[in-house]
Amino acid sequence: MLPDEPSTAAAASPSRVSDLDRKRVVEVLDGRSRRRVERYLRAPPEQRRRAIEVVSIDPDEALPPGDPQ
């Protein structure tokens, strides 16, 4: 599997885009692939992209979706 190809678990899990300053969910993306997140981050106009200060992606697939740990 290539690094930016989602595993079965990652493809089934959504990605949540949050505004931590305003404490709200901005968008929910289908899947957790690197390419999907990159496309999302390139989509806004330049002024809005410049306002993004931090991007954090949790690549850990150790726990399957719904695992209570």
Query: Higher pLDDT residue, 69 or 27?
Result: 27
Q: Is residue 23 part of a domain?
A: yes
Distance CA(31)–CA(10), nearest Å, equals 6
| Phi-psi sector, 23: left (phi>0), alpha (psi -120 to 50), beta | left
* pLDDT, tens digit, 9 for 90 and up, residues 11-62: 567 888 888 889 999 899 888 788 888 898 899 899 888 888 888 777 655 5
What's the confidence (pLDDT) of residue 64?
58
Its pTM stands at 0.57
Q: Is residue 31 part of a domain?
A: yes
Q: What is the largest CA-CA distance in the chain?
A: 40
Strand partners, 19: 24
pLDDT at 2: 45
Q: Which pLDDT score is estimated for 23?
A: 93
Domain that holds residue 38: 9-51
Residue 25's DSSP bridge partners are: 18
Total number of domains constituting the chain: 1
